[in-house]
Structure 1
Amino acid sequence: MIVVRRTADGYALVRDGAVEDVTREALAAEVARLEVDSPRWAWDTADVYPLLLAAGVRVARAWDLRLGRALLRRAAGTRGAVAGLPADGWDDLALADDGALPLDLAADLDPVAEHRRQADEIASSTRPGALRLLLTAESAGALAAAEMRFAGLPWRREEHERILAEVLGPRVPSDRRPEALERLLADVRAALAAPTLNPDSPVELVRALRAAGIQVDSTRAADLRAVDHPAVAPLLEYKKLARLHAANGWAWLDAWIRDERFHPEYLVGGVVTGRWAARGGGALQLPKQIRSAVAADPGWKLVVADAAQLEPRVLAGLAHDRAMADAGRGRDLYAGIVASGAVATRQSAKVGMLGALYGATGGEGGRLVPRLAQRFPRALALVEQAAREGERGGTVSTLLGRSTPPVSDRQRALDRDAAAFDADERVLQRARAVARDRGRFTRNFVVQGTAAEWALCWLADLRGRLWALGDGPITARPHLVYFLHDEVIVHAPAALADRVAEAVAASAAAAGRLLFADFPIDFPLDVAVVDRYSEA
């Protein structure tokens, strides 16, 4: 283990108590020299790794101290030594615009002490192996995220501009609506007899709809589709194009595309369940309308892969539900549920499973959940148990030990008030509603969080396989360029595309074995080798 620490003049590399000072300019060369021995680097990845990547240095293994702090703050089964620490820079590092950590903040942090503290906390926990694997996978994810930001997602500005011109019209100044929006707006105003309506204001829009005799409480598309009125069709189209203009229009192109690449900043573990988030740019929400702009370089291909029915398969593995595992072996899991006799159609299987994962009690999902429980009792019992624990105010954890946040002070106060002898009925109802909400959260947490762990293990294994397929720097080899929960995109030389597709599938299988050992659950992928993302 080599711990990297900021100093006034650069960095210090600490190994087995020995300290080697290096300047900022010399850091990359020294790391490259030491990397030959495959050490694990203990650091804040977002602070140090971009500097190394810019110098052409890639590392294989890390221990991300910031991510480790976040995991151990809440991990059940630990002594609580990390959870009891006062908040400091390891909890919320303020990155500069270029991803670098301001020196004045870094100087107050001692990574050597933090690494020792985290290592001791894991070693003394009730499940040290699982927690260590989780932190290893999370740290590998941080390396991958930095590499994806560095390499960038191949993006063709000319194609993006063609799409915008086709659906929105010619580019206009930022304070004006594009031609297509103006045309649709005229239709909406005429249909509602509201010549000055601003459809971008929900308050104004609801008022205009009600004035036209349309009783709605919101302007959500799902609510509007249920209304039979001439204004609805152009309004829905307006909202769709307005989202494109706001989220991925010309201003987005100017801000985010550099040298035919999109360089998003991923936030590893940015969601409480362990899923990733992104800081600006909408990296996790690329609409289908613009995906043809994501295109491989000449002589290269995009290998696009996503896991089929990941969360239900993870649930089967968590619960060791062999009936559910059998339903998905070698085929579409929902089709297997139909074949089992639990429900009649694939759509019913999907709706019922979503109901089980998210706690549906009414509608079609609520009606189908008991039928799934009869056929797959172990799986449904696991999420029910997680829900009940959450309702009681307890903590639940994923397979590897990521745990839910503690119950809020608000819920504890409600629980105390509800337990009082003379509790008001409104207080009781509110306490029950809050408990049910937490139960739905914990029900889904154990599954979505474990699915995020599988995806991290998949990503970590694939990262190593891709590196072994080529020579030279990261961007000269097959390399990851995009990750979204259960989907990856690899940019690969065309001659290696088939081998990359094999590596993607092999890594998925390896991740399943790592988490679920010999339990017979498989994780099939939909894999496509394409020139453009839209073709996948």
Structure 2
Amino acid sequence: MLRGVAEVRVLLVRRPGGTVEARELDDGGTVTRVPAGELPALVRERETAHPRWVWDDTTRWYPGLLAAGLRVERCTDLRLGHALLRRSPRVDQATLTGPDTAGWDALEPVGAADPALFDLDDPADRLDPAAEQERQRAALGTVDQRARLGLLLAAESAGALVAAEMTHAGMPWRADVHDRLLTDLLGPRPAAGRRPEGLEQVLTAVRQAFGAPALNPDSPTELLPCLRAAGLEVTDTRSWTLEQLDHPGITPLLQYKKLARLLQANGWAWLDTWVAEGRFRPTWLPGGVVTGRWASAGGGALSAPVQVRPAAVADDGWRFVVADVAQLEPRVLAGMSRDTAMAEAARAADLYQAMVDTGAVASRSDAKLGMLGAMYGGTRGESGRMVDRLTRRYPQAFGLVEEAARAGERGEVVQTLLGRGSPLPTGSWAAPAAESDDDRPDPRERDQHRRAWGRFTRNFVVQGTGAEWALCWLAVLRNRLWQTGPAGQVTDRPHLVFFLHDEVVVHTPEHLADDVADAVRAAATEAGRLLFGSFPVDFPLDVSVVRSWADAG
């Protein structure tokens, strides 16, 4: 919202007959109806007043506007807001109840491949966005610490805009470079249904080493008996299990699994499906994970392996600015717990080494082991000893995750700093005590489930708050990038093209790369201030300006 200017909210609703209704929510309820084809012109005219567009779901509105050359400054995504409020323990759920609540609960995003505004039998058209908007505002009005939850709602909607813009712009991707990488690693592209030559050669070595000429390593039901017949006592065929074994066939087997995984996840079929006109365009799903982290629908955007990153090459005259934050979750834990001693360690670029330098632990590996143990529930053995030692040095931080774990074990909902709630546990261990002995779960089994859920909730509060910091980083950065560079559409200016939990990639004209790097750092600082106020916790970034994503530090 512009400083000193009242926010203008405009609700967009699809109506029968291919029309769109634009309703002013803060100015007497003025309604404008236009044919769907004239919506871009209406949005272009209204955008000069910096409104907040209110709509059922960003994936149903924004791709079409982007395709028409428009960029909107802000929105309220009712689908994402509904999901967030429904799980927040701060919200009185009665305020969200209406005749179409079940429909909002079930509403799913749509794919970005078809930006058509009016799909046949869209379930969103059976919902009342005006009523839902009022319910959400009423729900927020009943919440303690309303500003925090309001910030999360705004950031979630901003993330939806970022996601649509990244899909629209696409990550620059050189199909010829990708093909060459695959050929170098796997051999020439094979005929359909056949393995590449390089993979066949490794497979021959595996079969010879195990004396199994017909072995198919892709089948665990074939591979596991083969390993046992070779005298290897294993219970699964996962790579980390195989790495512990001593046998001449293990090295080629691990190589085969690595190459086969590359072929399946990012091989020629992936290239044909997901790269077009020099761009990789996955569909991003903000809030796709219960912690608030993003997911992606197809394309494996959140697991792009290093082997294929050389194919991500900036356009001529452009560069990538790649930035990632070091040790995000421990820094977030320091901020949300207000642990001044841990925040002091977080002032260093390497938080783990700072713990060593202050005498908390003897080595960097000890610091990392203890932090991971605290956040993921590794409280036994060497990890447990490190947790105990670090708890004495950082009692507020370690006490926070321990309290979240105990709450989870009791079957309670925990929440992130801004108010995203964890899901309720399921299963007999979390249900009220059964009256019949036959219905009562085994105590040992119940305790195992309780501890497992406690490990989930202890990580939920930290990972979820880390996702909130990243959302704020994206939202602030998106607006800073829009103010950098020449006028034009999203893709004419510096713009986000990739996001992975704690890493962003910006595609920018080369002469603006330094300005973009400054904007990325400033946005990270602002995100920390939005979440933690004046509490002194730092989020240092590793920033690279590169032509290829693979060259980032």
After TM superposition, the score normalised by the length of structure 1 is 0.97
Structure 2 distance, partners of 1:369, 1:158, is: 49
Change (3 A) 1:87 1:469: same
2:102 maps to 1:93: no
Q: Which amino acid aligns with 2:383?
A: G
State the match for 2:33 in structure 1. 21
Tell me the secondary structure at the aligned position of residue 217 of structure 1.
coil
Give the aligned partner of residue 189 of structure 1: 207
Deviation track 1:183-210 (CA, whole Å, cap 9, x = no partner) reads 1111111111111111101111001111
Alignment match of 2:522 (pick from 486, 497, 506): 506
For residue 128 of structure 1, report the CA deviation from its aligned partner: 1.8
Report the AA paired with residue 519 of structure 1: F
| Alignment partner, residue 456 of structure 1 | 471
Q: Is residue 2:455 matched to residue 1:440? A: yes
Instruction: Indicate the residue corresponding to 1:490 in structure 2.
Output: 506
SS of 1:6's equivalent in the other structure is strand
**What amino acid is the match of 1:6?**
R
* Counterpart AA for 1:5: V
Q: Which residue of 2 aligns with 1:36?
A: 48
| Amino acid in the other structure paired with 2:451 | R
Q: Distance in 1 between matches of 2:23 and 2:351?
A: 49
**Letter matched to residue 314 of structure 1:** V
2:19 corresponding residue in structure 1? 10
Contact 2:428–2:441 (Cα < 8 Å) also in 1: no
Q: Distance in 2 between matches of 1:407 and 1:162?
A: 48
Length-normalised TM-score, structure 2: 0.94
Contact in 2 for aligned 1:4/1:41 (Cα 8 Å): yes
Q: Report SS of the residue matched to 1:3.
A: strand
Aligned match of 1:524 in 540, 543, 548?
540
Aligned to 2:82: 69
The amino acid of 1:60's aligned partner reads: E
RMSD: 1.6
Which AA in structure 2 matches 1:18?
T
Using the TM superposition, give the Cα deviation of residue 84 of structure 1 relative to its aligned residue in structure 2, in angstroms: 5.1
Q: What is aligned with 2:5?
A: none
* Equivalent residues of 1:90, 1:109 under 8 A apart: no
- 1:267–1:278 Cα contact (<8 Å) kept: yes
Using the TM superposition, give the Cα deviation of residue 66 of structure 1 relative to its aligned residue in structure 2, in angstroms.
0.5
- SS in structure 2 opposite 1:284? helix
| Residue 467 in structure 1 maps to residue 448 in structure 2 | no
Alignment check: 8 A CA contact 1:73 1:82 kept:
no
Counterpart for residue 341 of structure 2: 323
- Distance in 2, matches of 1:184 and 1:215, equals 23
Q: CA deviation at 1:534?
A: 0.6
Q: Which amino acid aligns with 1:293?
A: A
State the distance in 2 between where 1:95 and 1:154 align.
Answer: 24
**In structure 2, do the counterparts of structure 1 residues 83 and 176 end up closer, same or farther at CA, with 3 Å as the change threshold?**
farther
Where does residue 478 of structure 1 map in the other structure? 494
The alignment of Structure 1 onto Structure 2 pairs a total of residues equal to 533
1:416 correspondence with 2:429: no
| Residues 192/352 of structure 1: CA separation in 2 closer, same or farther (3 Å cut) | same
Letter in 2 for 1:35: E
Select 2:121's aligned residue among 104, 111, 116.
Answer: 104
1:404 to 414, 422, 440: 422
1:84–1:173 distance in 2 versus 1, CA, 3 Å: farther
Q: Give the Cα–Cα distance (whole angstroms) in 2 for the partners of residues 136 and 94 of structure 1.
A: 18
Question: Given residue 372 of structure 1, which amino acid in structure 2 is its aligned partner?
Answer: L
Q: Kindly provide the CA deviation profile for residues 319-375 of structure 1, in whole angstroms up to 9, marking residues without a partner as x.
A: 100100101213310110111212111122112111110010224322211111111
What percentage of aligned pairs have identical amino acids? 55
What is the Cα deviation at residue 425 of structure 1?
9.7
* SS in structure 2 of the partner of residue 107 of structure 1: helix
Q: Mark the CA change 1:424 to 1:103 in structure 2 (over 3 Å): closer, same or farther.
A: closer
Give the Cα–Cα distance (whole angstroms) in 1 for the partners of residues 321 and 221 of structure 2.
44
Aligned to 1:276: 294
Aligned AA (1:92): L
Residues 178, 38 of structure 1: CA spacing in aligned structure 2 closer, same or farther, 3 A cutoff? Answer: same
Alignment of 1:116-195 (within 5 A): 116-195=134-213
Tell whether the 8 Å contact from 2:374 to 2:401 is kept in structure 1 after alignment: yes
Counterpart for residue 49 of structure 1:
62
8 Å CA contact retained: 1:356, 1:369? yes
Note the C-alpha offset of 1:102: 2.8
Indicate if the aligned counterparts of 1:94 and 1:102 stay in contact, CA closer than 8 A: no
Secondary structure of 1:342's aligned partner:
coil
Which aligned runs of 4 or more in structure 1 are off by greater than 6 angstroms? 423-426
Matched, 1:229 2:237: no
- Give the SS at the match of 1:28: helix
Match of 2:4 in 1: none
Contact 2:10 2:22 survives alignment (8 Å): yes
